[in-house]
Amino acid sequence: MLTKFESKSARVKGLAFHPVRPWICASLHNGVIQLWDYRVGTVIDRFEEHDGPVRGVDFHLHEPLIVTGGDDYKIKVWDYKLRRCLFTLLGHLDYIRTVQFHPNATQFPWILSASDDQTLRLWDFQKRSCLSVLTGHNHYVMCAAFHPSEDLIVSASLDQTVRVWDTTGLRKKQLGGPVGVDGGFPGMTDSNGNRGTSAAAATALNVQAELFGTNDVVVKYVLEGHDRGVNWAAFHPTLPLLASAADDRQVKLWRMSETKAWEVDTLRGHANNVSCCLFHPKQELVVSNSEDRSIRVWDVSKRVGVQTFRREGDRFWILAAHRSQNLLAAGHDSGMIVFKLERERPASANGPGDKLYYVRGRELFCHDYARATGGSSGVDVPIASLRRVGQQAQTDGIGSGPRFLSYNMHNPTEGNVLVCSEVDGGCYELITFSLTNAGGSVTDGKRGSCLGPGVFLGRNRFAVLDRHKREIVVKNLNNETTKRVQAPLPNVDCLYDGGASGRIILRADDRAVLFEVQSRRVIGELTAPKIKNVVWSPDGTKVALLCKYGVVIANRQLEQLCSISDTVRIKSGAWDVSPSGGTSSNLFIYTTLHHVKYCLSTGDTGTIRTLDNPIYATRVVKDQLFCLDREARSRVISIDTTEARFKLALANKKYGQVMHMVKHSRLCGRAIVAYLQSKGFPEVALHFVRDPQTRFRLALACGNIEAAMESAFSLEQQQGMDGKARDVWGELGSEALRQGNHQVVEMSYQRKKDFDRLSFLYMLTGDSEKLRKMLKISNMRNDIMGRYHNALLLGDAAERVAVLEASGNLPLAYISANLHGLEEVAERIKVAIETQEGSVEGLMDKVPVGTKKGGRLLQPPTPIIRAGNWPTLEIKKTTLEDLSAADAGEEYEEEEAAPASADTAGAAVWEDDFVVADADPGMTGTADEFDLGDDDDMGWGDDLDDLGDFGEDAVKTTPVDEMAGLNEISDDAGFQMPPAGRSPAGCWAANSSHAADHMAAGGASSAMQLLHRQIAASDFSVLKGSMIGCYLGSTVSLPGIPGSGSMAVPLMRNDASGHPGNDSLPRTSLTMKTLVTGIRQGYRFFQTGKFNDAKNTFSEVMSQIPLTVAENKSEANEMKEMLEICREYITAIRIKGAMALAGADPVRSTELAALFTHCNLQPVHKLLALRSAMGTSFKHKNYIVAASFARRLLELPDMRSERNADLRVKATKVLQKSEQVGRNEHTLNYNENAAFVIDCKDFIPIYTGEESVKCSYSGSSYKGSAMKGQIDLTDGFCTIGVETIGLVTGK
């Protein structure tokens, strides 16, 4: 059983499928009628007018009607569109068990009902009257049903009989023909509306019909054979057969002839009352359900049970079958289920070239598309007959057909097909045949058990999944096991093709894993719930994972490209294989229950067409979809992929093809416009839109000022100069101002009457004449503030004083006149103030003059260039803007299509495991450099295309937007300004992985992240000075022109031969010379005994090294040597400090002196260390180590010089004395003969094999793991015990 839908509700007593729509109506024991959409699993409507249980329900074949019958003795007819009851038919005197519309309800508007009042009734629902009462049963009539095509009715009753009724007489009466000797009811109205006798006579006859029944419907057969009451009876849809189900736990088959009916056989197996039974509409099966909580399937011809489905805790009451689909429904105590007996998907697999292999019935066929003629899709060639397997080998049992088919694409010499089924838990059959004579020599018989489909791994081997151990079993073509591989996940339940030799895709729960069998490694993994199938593109670069409710598209490394979901179940899918047009391996077509849809790897999806019945796509070529139907018949349907090709061309930037489709294809609608806007191509959407408001929005979005102006004028004419039109001009002015087109800005402000912005625009553009006109306008408008602002922008002091005086601000007017030297005006204002009994004393004291806070005269800027518009950069029209170029581009596209596909085919051979298209688009230019050849890596697993994103420069991979500024109004339109070039700082960060370059670009956060990842830096306060120096030293500041700020000019280190453009790298303040100077300074301090100064110097060098960029490999090596020098000297200085603290302890001081000599110092400094250690150990009578130090000292080259003659003599004497005594006074933690490194915390030896942790930057070692995660004591800023890549030098 394949459950398609399950509902939870009260007990379901009646079920009916809608003849066309995916609906099912369920009548419940609580009186509710539910209308369900079983495809999406939702309740569409509820009807609740019955009082008590509703036991019968049926759909009208053509009209939106439902009929129901319940325990309230009522038959109700509902209109599910109007969502109400139309009328009620009254007449039955007890519970109504079943109701049904006549199969030909258009010609015969009849309803048949069965009731516990021991009668059947026929009703005319158009006239809303009873046509006939069928009497004869002497117990409850449990069901009644029309024959699908003949004038027969069957009824079942608890009187242990099944009756067959003949309705020929009633049919003839309804059609107006002769009725027979009994004459029927002359008062009945015929189909033409003619009335035979008077109304009184008709009423009398109706009363007679109510009491005694009529003889229009007569009993033809009475079938007796059941020992208990009969619950159900049903006709066979085509054969003269009946099936009945009874309380004697039996299902009986009956055959009818013209004159009699007899029992054929009895089907036994149910353990309780059999509630219902019916014939399967498409197979020779009987389906029955029972109160024993089971559904049983019986073979009509063999008369044996085929399958049993059990349900715990729920008794079954009713069955229903769909008229045209293989769907069944069963109602039980807690709801209902909609199910199929078996899957209807034909097993199929694409072969090489234009071939498709599939199974129909028990035959394996090869369908050759290349031999298509006329309207056919090709020719079917039979290959082999498949044997029946499993327990049901004697019958065509349910579920025994092949489920999966796999073809060996790796074997070019012969055909190999794996046919897998789910019989007995899963099995496979290997069929081998000749490709030249497909039906001639066929080898089969190689069988085995498996779980799910089998997959071919190579030319002569295949893999299946062991259903018990869940292991991957590899077998050869002789069906011999050659290898068993443990799956990488424990719960793998299915194998799929991996797209390349030796690879498979494993399904485990909601995950898909790409697994390489030879090397036993996982290549990729992604989440995909409920995977049903896997479809690889023809070139093997993409794979579509078909899930139950979605499609996931990934590349050949199983990295997800996109994922889409759907509300209905996905049935099948196929990649486009068109030889031209650029859609091959880029366009994926998939089918659902009722639609054909498309999906692109960009995530774009859409619906192509609707379907009457589900199909299974196998191949797509241009506008033809090749598919198999549920009967495994090959079909070809027409599809229109224009929309998909348009989106694909847009995504691939094939603008010539885009514009050709815009002009010549039927692309329209809001969906396309919204799609173009969402993808950033509003200029293309302009070609689809005629509405001025929408065109205006699109023109603004793409910066097309001319188109926006035209739309704005149109809107102004439609709406007049009201508020909305002014808003339009305001938006246009803002866009024009952004582009620098101040003439359009001026016009927009004028039409909007935005005088303030207009004045400011004239001031910016230096147009003093128009600014004076604005001053006059403000005078005419009596706008005081406008007059003052215009006078201020003009620098007209006299006008400002006049405005202040006119507005009554005499003190301000007096101050302003005095400041600007207008003495006569000032005197006049002074008189006016005194006349008003005021005073001007102290007014000028409030204004500081001659200081920075004092007032000064404002003058408008002098224009540098007087021109009609601000200068703009001339840009070429792109293909999208030049429609003639677009046409030429389309022709070029068609001409180039064939060579391109040939190149792709060649690339598929050589580029088996390194597909540049899957990597960053920025790498496409260097495809030849990275082409590493075949995937046959002999199990080494060098998948270089797994490296992921290298963080390539986005500017390199993103071309200049060719879509910008489309104009269809005139040739000299205002175009959108091209995007600004990338800033040097952005280039520096993208071109380098060195922290110094990121810091120079101002990316402190990314620089610190790099240092943390590379050398485990954690305390950046130590590096702060060096980092700030990198930032400040990468630019130089140049003063700008008067009135403007300074300009920061980037300094680049790779501009010797010319400007590097986007490949630029910054100069840094730290160089090798800086480091060398620091090292030498540290040597001098160390030599002279200034150990604190030496330590600070070496620490500073150590903090500068990570932010220094090496120019070549030799400098990089020198930097690493300097890092070791700094570490050794800092350690030596810290040991020297510890020696001073441990002076009173002879053991510790001797140990520290010994360790001091093991620091890798310069020879002159090593001499000093050995001399100190020799003296310390000799003084404390540790003669063995003293002799060792004396020997090492004498071996130094510097000891031969005359200046060290005294030291040489002393060392010789110490050696002689020590050799004479030959003992140590103390036991020391020091063994000069064993290899060790120094613990930089406790200053003790760490011998080989002892546990220790290191700093990945300085290399300092620490014994044990106590220091792990702490800051290194040598460099002071890196974390100990973190494994990193180490120092990055830049080269």
Higher pLDDT, 1224 or 215: 1224
State the Cα–Cα distance between residues 445 and 429, nearest whole angstrom: 7
Sequence-distant (6+) residues with CB within 8 A of 708 are 696, 699, 700, 732, 735
State the Cα–Cα distance between residues 777 and 782, nearest whole angstrom: 9
State the Cα–Cα distance between residues 539 and 424, nearest whole angstrom: 37
State the Cα–Cα distance between residues 466 and 469, nearest whole angstrom: 6
- For the stretch 957-1013, pLDDT in tens is 334 333 333 333 333 334 455 566 778 888 888 888 889 989 988 889 999 999 999
Secondary structure (3-state) at 744: helix
pLDDT surpassing 80 at residue 341: yes
Determine the pLDDT at residue 234.
Answer: 96
- For the stretch 1276-1287, pLDDT in tens is 999 999 888 888
**119, β-bridge pairs:** 135
Higher pLDDT, 1245 or 921: 1245
- Percentage of the chain exceeding pLDDT 90: 30
Determine the pLDDT at residue 37.
Answer: 92
pLDDT surpassing 60 at residue 730: yes
Highest mean pLDDT among 69-78, 703-712, 812-821: 69-78
Which is nearest to 800 in space by CA: 815, 120, 447, 1033?
A: 815
Secondary structure (3-state) at 1122: helix
pLDDT surpassing 90 at residue 52: yes
- For the stretch 100-147, pLDDT in tens is 999 988 889 999 999 999 999 999 999 999 999 999 999 999 999 999
Distance (Å) of CA 960 to CA 653, 685, 884, 950, 1246: 11, 19, 21, 22, 61
**497, β-bridge pairs:** 504
Determine the pLDDT at residue 663.
Answer: 67
Question: How would residue 68 be classed by pLDDT, with cut points 50, 70 and 90?
Answer: very high
State the Cα–Cα distance between residues 231 and 252, nearest whole angstrom: 12
Determine the pLDDT at residue 704.
Answer: 73
Determine the pLDDT at residue 400.
Answer: 67
Distance (Å) of CA 1256 to CA 232, 745, 1118: 84, 61, 18
**Range of weakest confidence among 295-299, 888-892, 1250-1254:** 888-892
Mean pLDDT computed over 604-628:
88
Mean pLDDT computed over 522-530:
90
Mean of per-residue pLDDT scores for the chain: 80
pLDDT surpassing 80 at residue 687: no
DSSP 244-294: EEETTSEEEEEEE-SS-EEEEEEEE--SS-EEEEEE-SSSSEEEEEETTSE
State the Cα–Cα distance between residues 776 and 781, nearest whole angstrom: 9
Mean pLDDT computed over 1095-1109:
92
Which is nearest to 533 in space by CA: 543, 518, 542?
A: 543
**Range of weakest confidence among 19-33, 673-687, 993-1007:** 673-687
Tokens of 367: 């369908």
Determine the pLDDT at residue 90.
Answer: 94
Neighbours of 1091 (CB within 10 A): 17
- Taking CB atoms within 8 Å and a gap of at least 24, the contacts of 546-553 are 546/570, 546/572, 546/573, 546/590, 551/588, 551/590, 551/599, 552/512, 552/526, 552/528, 553/588, 553/599, 553/601
- For the stretch 377-430, pLDDT in tens is 778 788 888 776 555 544 555 666 788 888 888 888 888 888 888 877 788 888
pLDDT surpassing 60 at residue 209: no
Opening angle at CA 1125, ends 1122 and 1128, nearest 5: 150
- Percentage of the chain exceeding pLDDT 70: 80
Which is nearest to 590 in space by CA: 566, 573, 608?
A: 573
Higher pLDDT, 1144 or 295: 295
Tokens of 883: 């429609």
- For the stretch 1030-1046, pLDDT in tens is 988 888 888 766 666 77
Angle between helix 1113-1141 and helix 1072-1087 axes, rounded to 10 deg: 30
**Range of weakest confidence among 398-402, 458-462, 527-531, 806-810:** 398-402
Say what the pTM is. 0.56
- For the stretch 1104-1146, pLDDT in tens is 999 999 988 888 889 999 999 999 999 999 998 888 888 778 8
Mean pLDDT computed over 1168-1173:
88
Query: What is the residue type of 91?
Result: G
For the chain, helix (H) and strand (E) counts, in that order, are 30, 61
Tokens of 819: 């400041």
Burial of 350 (0-12, 13-18, 19+ CB in 10 A): buried
Distance (Å) of CA 997 to CA 501, 876, 1032, 1033, 1107: 44, 35, 12, 11, 8
**486, β-bridge pairs:** 471
State the Cα–Cα distance between residues 1242 and 1231, nearest whole angstrom: 17
333 φ, ψ to 5°?
-65, -30
**Range of weakest confidence among 208-212, 623-627, 771-775, 1093-1097:** 208-212
State the Cα–Cα distance between residues 914 and 930, nearest whole angstrom: 8
pLDDT surpassing 70 at residue 933: no
Question: How would residue 1099 be classed by pLDDT, with cut points 50, 70 and 90?
Answer: very high
State the Cα–Cα distance between residues 244 and 1115, nearest whole angstrom: 97
- For the stretch 782-800, pLDDT in tens is 888 888 888 888 888 888 8
Determine the pLDDT at residue 546.
Answer: 92
Neighbours of 876 (CB within 10 A): 8
Which is nearest to 1188 in space by CA: 1237, 1232, 1235, 1147?
A: 1232
Name the DSSP letter for residue 917: G
Question: How would residue 154 be classed by pLDDT, with cut points 50, 70 and 90?
Answer: very high
- For the stretch 492-522, pLDDT in tens is 888 999 888 889 999 988 889 999 988 888 9
Determine the pLDDT at residue 145.
Answer: 96
Determine the pLDDT at residue 721.
Answer: 54
Mean pLDDT computed over 614-639:
88
Determine the pLDDT at residue 196.
Answer: 39
* 492 touches 470 (CB < 8 A): yes
Handedness of CA 500, 502, 507, 511 (dihedral sign): negative
Which is nearest to 860 in space by CA: 797, 809, 801?
A: 797
Question: How would residue 1291 be classed by pLDDT, with cut points 50, 70 and 90?
Answer: low
Determine the pLDDT at residue 952.
Answer: 42
pLDDT surpassing 50 at residue 364: yes
* Secondary structure (H, E, C), 1141-1175: HCCCCHHHHHHHHHHHCCCCCCHHHHHHHHHHHHH
Distance (Å) of CA 586 to CA 647, 689, 753, 909: 11, 29, 53, 18
**531, β-bridge pairs:** 547
